[in-house]
Structure 1
């Protein structure tokens, strides 16, 4: 699903009170980390991740890695925090994406 401006604005508002649930640390970006991230996005659809200070990667590198290896979309970058969205593979877990499609 390609997001339009209003949809991104809605997702940013929804994620405003979220705390980051994933971190990128000194181990960097690995396929295992991406698989765990994908599993969390299948359950929640909208999450925040944090890039730790001791990480060797930048926010743009993380964004490019995530978008090139999966169908996850980066909605917003706030300093070292990224807001990510992905429509769930399971129809019964699609709460956020159903509301986004109506916008």
Structure 2
């Protein structure tokens, strides 16, 4: 799944009021962190992950976490990564992504 720019913008807007649900500490991305991300994505579809101790590696870690969890890295805001993965069952999806770019109102 690859997201278009307007879909990423839409998801960033939805993620704005969310609190981080997974924290990556000094141990890095371990199996327990990946399991927590998997569970959170299954429940919420859109989550924030906070990196506590990583400055230079956080972008690489966020990309690796997205790849390992088969989710999309929507964006990075400081020490926060926003991840999205649609629920595997369409009838249980909470988020409906826009199909077309919204037209600008004049």
For normalisation by structure 1, the TM-score amounts to: 0.84
Structure with greater helix share of residues: 1
Corresponding position of 1:8:
8
Corresponding position of 1:69:
68
Paired residues in the alignment total: 100
Ranges in structure 1 where 5+ consecutive residues have no aligned partner? none
Ranges in structure 2 where 5+ consecutive residues have no aligned partner? 101-106
For normalisation by structure 2, the TM-score amounts to: 0.82
Give 1:64 shift. Answer: 2.6
Give 1:91 shift. Answer: 3.1
Corresponding position of 2:80:
81
How do residues 3-82 of structure 1 correspond to structure 2 at under 5 angstroms?
A: 3-52=3-52, 54-55=53-54, 58-82=57-81
C-alpha distance after superposition, 1:39-87 (max 9, x if no partner): 11011100111011x3487212212321332311110101110111001
- Pairwise CA RMSD of aligned residues? 1.9
